Every structure is written in structure tokens, then in C-alpha cells.
Copies of this chain bind each other. A is one copy, B any other.
Amino acid sequence: MHKRFSNSILSAKQFNKNNLLEILDVSEKIERTLKKQKEIPLLKEYILATLFFEPSTRTRLSFEAAMHRLGGKVITSVGMQFSSLAKGETLFDTLKMVEAYADICAIRHPVEGASVLAAENISIPVINAGDGAGEHPTQALLDLYTINKHKSLIEKKLKIAFIGDIRYGRTIHSLIHLLKHFECELTFISPSEISLPEKYKNELNSHSISFLENENLNKAKGADVLYVTRIQEERFTDRKIYEKFKDAYIIDKDFVFKSCPKAIVMHPLPRLNEVSTNLDDTPNAVYFDQAKNGLYTRMALILKLLNINIE
């Protein structure tokens, strides 16, 4: 592992089981504390820079709220445009600038590897807030936290069904890197055109995680967790196949109540219609709680990277 990875969050691959348990534990402490008080003022003199080379209001605000809830300050560069790493020297120079102004930074960039480039070249901790087709490790951590909060990862072997675009769904790939450290059974439900890439299958096999692939939503029956992502029409060469699955994969109250009434339904958001709004008021729907959990896990990560302990 690169020397700099130790104080940056660049990939979901960088964690071992102990790291994860520690992050879950600190996140839980934070959630509990924020029920009693609005702020945990451990970072009063620290500055977070959020560098978003592509827009992602949801993720950016989550990081900024996390820093504020820790008493810290934020500088932000929304709307900087960089077409590619072909302008790499400018990205490098921009990052050097940030090093001078902030104590920690979160980077969102359309090009895979941008945050690694950052971590290799600047002296402050870097958090990958999504880089192109690459990783989105903080999303994976908040997903893991959500699963563990509602369905313990330790007490039983969870059945987790992923539904939708398994091939391009970056958040699913990052989450696989974390789930492989726990006992669980995974089911990947998608049209074969957008099924799980080989390398993730290999990784699951090498960790002895049993998994199943199928096109039929009924295979989600009895699941503890439904993790839904959007299917995009443009992924299909044959429009008919898209039409066939588009409606087959709508998760609604009826389906959940019949097939897996105790399941939690997750979605990385934004959703379109793949999760019906008729689920919103049910206890099964945890996708809004999931967003909230992003606050706690990001607070935990920021503290960890700055070597600050919550009592």
C-alpha cells in the first residue's frame, strides 16, 4: 500500500475488518452524541476544503455539514472545471494550493485516479468523494453503517440483494469491497447485460463469500437488505431488453410486504422510479436515513484522518 494511503481515504479496498469495525463504532458514538447535542466541537480550528470538479450537491453538503457539526470551517470550490488529467499539471498545482489553505480535503473528480494523484502529492489528508468510474469509498462506508445499524453484520449471516445496474453501479462495487470482510450471502439481480463484472466475482470467491446472480426479482425473496440502483436505458443495445426489465425491477410496498417484509430498502440516491414513493412512509424504507448516516460516517472519517479521538 502506498505510504500516503495511511492518512487518506482513497478506496474501499484499503480497509481491513478491524478498520471497519472501528469506523462503525466511532460513527455510532457520533450518532448517539448528536441526539443530545447539535455539535461535537473537536475541530474548532480546522479547515476542510471541498473540491468538487463535478457537481454533487448531496455529497458536498454532507461533507460540509459533517465538518460544521465538528465545529470546523469549510472552504469550497464548486464549479471548477477540468476536462481531463491531460491538464494534469493544473490539477496538481490546484491541489498544491489547497494544501496551503486547508487541513484536510475532500475531492470529487470525473477522472478515475484523481484522488490518488492528490494523496501522493500533498501533505494533508485526502478523502475521495467519488472519482469517475472509480471509487466512492465514503458512500460504501455509509452503506455499511446503514446495514449494520438496521441489521447487525455480526449477529447473523445477512442476505443482501442488489437490484438494478450491477455492472456500472460504482456504489455497489465499493460496497462489495467492504462486505467481503463479513459473513453474508449476496444476490445480484440484473439483466445479464449489466451483471457483476468478473473481477468482483473473483474477489468474492477469494473471500469465500457465497453469491448468486439472477435476472428474476423473485430471487430477492427473504432478503434482509434490498440495495436498489437505477437502470439506465443507454446501457442496452437492445431496447426491448430494457423495456422488459424496467418495470420488473420496481420495488414497491406490495413487493416488499409480500417477498421480504422485514427487509430494509436502500438506495444511494438520487432515485427515479425504481423505488416507489409508496414505500417512503414504511419502516422498510431506510434510504433517507442512509443519507443521514453519511453525516455520522463522514464525521468519523474526518476525525480519524486528523487523529482526533472522540472521548
Residues of A at the B interface (CB closer than 8 Å) are 37-39, 41, 44-47, 49, 55, 57-58, 61-62, 64-65, 68-69, 73-75, 77-80, 89-90, 92-94, 96-103, 269-273, 277, 288, 291-292, 294-295
Please, which residue of chain B has its CB at the minimum distance from the CB of A101?
B65
Q: Are A69 and B47 in contact (CB under 8 A)?
A: yes
CA distance A80 to B49 in the complex (A): 20
CA distance A46 to B41 in the complex (A): 12
Most B-side CB within 10 Å, residue of A78, A94, A97:
A97
Please give the count of copies of this chain that the complex contains.
Answer: 3
CA distance A47 to B78 in the complex (A): 19
Q: Are B38 and A46 in contact (CB under 8 A)?
A: yes
CA distance A99 to B79 in the complex (A): 24
Chain B residues within an 8 Å CB radius of A46: 38
Our pick among B57, B90, B273 for the contact of A80 (Cβ within 8 Å) is B57
CA distance A291 to B89 in the complex (A): 16
Distance (Å) between the CB of A41 and the closest chain B CB? 8
Chain B residues within an 8 Å CB radius of A39: 44-45
Q: With A57-B77, A80-B57 in contact, do A100 and B291 touch (Cβ < 8 Å)?
A: yes
Please, which residue of chain B has its CB at the minimum distance from the CB of A122?
B288
Our pick among B38, B55, B57, B90 for the contact of A45 (Cβ within 8 Å) is B38
What are 26 of the A-B contact pairs (CB < 8 Å)? A38-B46, A38-B47, A38-B103, A39-B44, A39-B45, A47-B69, A57-B80, A58-B94, A61-B77, A61-B97, A61-B98, A62-B100, A62-B101, A64-B75, A64-B101, A65-B100, A65-B102, A74-B75, A79-B79, A89-B271, A94-B270, A96-B291, A97-B288, A100-B288, A100-B291, A100-B292
CA distance A288 to B100 in the complex (A): 8
Distance (Å) between the CB of A105 and the closest chain B CB? 11
Our pick among B58, B65, B93 for the contact of A270 (Cβ within 8 Å) is B93
Chain B residues within an 8 Å CB radius of A269: 93, 97
Chain B residues within an 8 Å CB radius of A273: 89
Chain B residues within an 8 Å CB radius of A92: 277
CA distance A246 to B174 in the complex (A): 46
Our pick among B271, B277, B295 for the contact of A101 (Cβ within 8 Å) is B295
Please, which residue of chain B has its CB at the minimum distance from the CB of A90?
B270
Q: Are B75 and A47 in contact (CB under 8 A)?
A: no
Q: Are B49 and A61 in contact (CB under 8 A)?
A: yes
Q: Are A73 and B68 in contact (CB under 8 A)?
A: yes
Q: With A90-B270, A277-B89, A288-B96 in contact, do A75 and B79 touch (Cβ < 8 Å)?
A: no
CA distance A47 to B38 in the complex (A): 9
Distance (Å) between the CB of A115 and the closest chain B CB? 18
Our pick among B44, B75, B271 for the contact of A65 (Cβ within 8 Å) is B75
Chain B residues within an 8 Å CB radius of A41: 45
Chain B residues within an 8 Å CB radius of A44: 39
